[in-house]
Amino acid sequence: MRYVALLRGINVGGNKKVPMKDLAEFMKVWGFSGVKTLLNSGNVIFETNEHDGKALETFLQEHLKVAFGFPVPCIIRSLDDIQILIKSDPFRDVVVHDQIRLYVTFFKNEFTKPFVSPWSAPDNSYHILSHDAHHMISYLDLSVTNTIKGMDESEKIFGKEVTTRNWNTVEKIGVM
């Protein structure tokens, strides 16, 4: 089965460095095949016979901590799930221009709290279009604000055990 590991909080501002070449090599040593990385933000596509995403998360987090010397939270999704998300075209109703940033936030654990989407920040800069138990679809309008404080609001709602990717990255993962 093909999966994507989305690593959280690495290679930001020179902290928690995880070179993608080293990561790919470790993944191969740990028994994964078809290993490919995308960008420096921790996106790894790989194949395994394991069918339990949570078991894969636990395995990778334990091994990444040993390999790199610090905790590396990761969220696993099947490549099929990513491709289904892409085919759903979640941003079809958003008027996109150079100031719009499209995001998918992946949840580590199922989100079960009551929350009604769509939702918009009070200044109308950040919008949560939809969510389900596994991810949230949102966008930021930089013509309204030049900060991502709206995303702080989503963290209050959905918690910190999440990782966010821009839509372009998600689309690239889907075709790898």
Residue-wise pLDDT for 99-115, tens only, equals 999 999 999 999 998 88
Mark whether 99 and 158 lie in a shared domain.
Answer: yes
Mark whether 43 and 69 lie in a shared domain.
Answer: yes
* Average pLDDT taken over every residue of the chain: 91
Mark whether 64 and 104 lie in a shared domain.
Answer: no
Q: What is the pLDDT of residue 93?
A: 95
Mark whether 51 and 108 lie in a shared domain.
Answer: no
- Of 22, 47, 82, the last residue of a domain is 82
Mark whether 77 and 128 lie in a shared domain.
Answer: no
pLDDT at 145 over 90: no
* pLDDT bracket for residue 152 (50, 70, 90): confident
Tokens of 62: 């334990």
Tell me which residue range forms the domain holding 41.
2-82
- Of 82, 109, 127, the last residue of a domain is 82
Calculate mean pLDDT across residues 122-130.
90
Mark whether 98 and 150 lie in a shared domain.
Answer: yes
- pTM of the model as a whole: 0.92
Mark whether 116 and 144 lie in a shared domain.
Answer: yes
Domain count, the chain: 2
Mark whether 75 and 103 lie in a shared domain.
Answer: no
Mark whether 75 and 95 lie in a shared domain.
Answer: no
- Cβ proximity of 33 and 47 under 8 Å: yes
Mark whether 39 and 55 lie in a shared domain.
Answer: yes
pLDDT at 61 over 90: yes
Calculate mean pLDDT across residues 130-159.
84
Mark whether 22 and 54 lie in a shared domain.
Answer: yes
Calculate mean pLDDT across residues 158-172.
93
Q: Where are the beta strands (DSSP E) in 14-171?
A: 33-38, 43-47, 74-78, 100-107, 119-120, 126-131, 135-141, 162-166
- Of 37, 57, 82, the last residue of a domain is 82
Beta strand 74-78 with 119-120 is unpaired
Residue 114, CA atoms < 13 Å, CB-side half-sphere: 0
Span 36-54, pLDDT tens digits: 999 888 899 999 999 999 9
Q: What is the pLDDT of residue 155?
A: 81
Q: What is the pLDDT of residue 149?
A: 66
Q: Give the range among 23-27, 123-127, 168-172 with minimum mean pLDDT.
A: 123-127
Mark whether 96 and 171 lie in a shared domain.
Answer: yes
**CATH number reported for the structural domain that contains residue 52 in this entry:** 3.30.70.1280
